[in-house]
Amino acid sequence: MFLVLLICLLLSFKYIMKPSCKVYLIDFACYKPPASLMCSKDQAIDQAIRSGYFSEDLLDFMKRILERGGLGDSTYVAEIFFRQKYDPSMEDARREVEMTVFGSLDMLLAKTGVKCQDIGILIVNCCIYNTEPSLSSMIVNRYKFRDNIITYNLVGMGCSAGLMAIGLAKQLLQVNRNSYALIVSTESITENFYYGKDRSKFLINCLFRVGGAAILLSNHPSDHNKSKYQLLQAVHNNTSSSDRSYNCILREEDKAGKVGVTVTKDLLAAAIGTIKPNIAALGCIILPTKVKLCYLITCIARKLIPSVNIKPYQPNYSNAVDHFLPHVGGKMVLDALQKSLGFSDINMEASRMTLYRYGNTSSSSIWYELAYVEAKGRVKQGNRVWQIAFGSGFKCNSVIWRAMKTVDHDDYNPWTDEISGFPVTLDHCENMPLYFTPSK
């Protein structure tokens, strides 16, 4: 009798508990601003001089950051930076966001042919710029999405918010069958140019640029054949409970009341303390069994035989993924990741070229990187793609995709008309000069 009841219980679970559905990335689009917003490093310095806001010392500091930060002379800035006086309005900021958001969305909808009424989930992330009604409401109003669409607006999440949105969409797609999830990642720099005297707030002026991306996910089984990628893993960790992590990147006023993003001397320690466990957790999932065993044996040996100088075992992650696309936080960050994870120069090419061509576009930068390897024709069927992003909080997110097909040339790709000119040779220069304010 007990056996019969047990069998009935197991059968009921089989029918009640639905299997986890597969999540596909149908396509994505990255916005390419007009040439009128292109700004070289020399132009940026000249404009800073003409503004009259900065001392000679600060201008020299800004020049050294631009020279060593890894940016080229074709990145894009907001329209307000070409004016004689920096006096942004809400309308200026809204115009920048509408340009990147609507621009990327128009391209994505044209590429996929998905109808607005079929989209059931919308997630928008923009770190600093926050409006009322929200950005998600702005999009719903523009494209007339259906009344019961599920919307989320992620703000203050830093450069990792784009991949955090992927993780959120994955969870929502597990419980909303036969749905499309639309993700929009952007940032607004119009209202966030710092014109004070605090060096620790100068990074946003020198590295952050205009950009945005739109991504369409699906859990429709019928989309298996037409999708570019399948989502395999999404790993997230957050160390905001630590005061050191929480305060290492902080938007605040300086002594003169001017708002900027402060970077403290704890940034590097907080970043390492957050990125390391994220990579370790992902490694437990994607690294080959042989590599995991070598790592485990080395750790045990170092514990049991402390008198012997056994070097820590460093797994080579390039054996587990075909394309590595880290957030382009800056040249120094990319150098450190390459050294610690064992990736070659060609593995890092997409990140370095994205930083050079588009600058740090915050959460959307990883999509410009993926667009780069696609434009180069390097994404083959079955390839695994690792995107990792990190930012204020401190937070780190990793996503693993598997290519469902070999990706063909795409006329909507932001690199299409200039990919033959890449990669460019980057000058080997000194590390970027950083000024860190004391910890709080």
Asked if the structure places residue 77 within a domain, the reply is yes
Q: The domain that contains 193 carries what CATH number?
A: 3.40.47.10
Asked if the structure places residue 216 within a domain, the reply is yes
Asked if the structure places residue 433 within a domain, the reply is no
How far is 228 from 281, CA to CA, in rounded Å?
26
Q: Residue 440: what pLDDT?
A: 57
Asked if the structure places residue 186 within a domain, the reply is yes
CA 38 from chain centre, in angstroms, equals 22
Asked if the structure places residue 321 within a domain, the reply is no
Please count the structural domains in the chain.
Answer: 1
Q: Residue 413: what pLDDT?
A: 97
Q: Residue 15: what pLDDT?
A: 40
User: What pTM value is reported for the model?
Assistant: 0.92
State both tokens at 16. Answer: 């009640």
Contacts of 295 (CB under 8 A, 6+ apart): 283, 287, 313, 315
Q: Residue 301: what pLDDT?
A: 85
DSSP per residue over 126-177, as a string?
ESS---SS-HHHHHHHHHT--TT-EEEEE-S-GGGHHHHHHHHHHHHHHHS-
Asked if the structure places residue 53 within a domain, the reply is yes
Asked if the structure places residue 205 within a domain, the reply is yes
Domain span at residue 155 reads 24-224
Asked if the structure places residue 50 within a domain, the reply is yes
Q: Residue 57: what pLDDT?
A: 92
Note whether 350 and 325 are within 8 A (CB): yes
Question: What are the 10-residue block averages of pLDDT along the chain, 440 residues in total?
Answer: 51 50 97 97 94 92 91 95 90 96 98 96 95 95 97 94 97 96 96 90 91 98 95 96 94 93 88 91 91 86 82 84 94 86 92 97 97 97 97 96 92 95 81 56
Note whether 372 and 353 are within 8 A (CB): yes
How far is 301 from 118, CA to CA, in rounded Å?
56
Q: Residue 336: what pLDDT?
A: 84
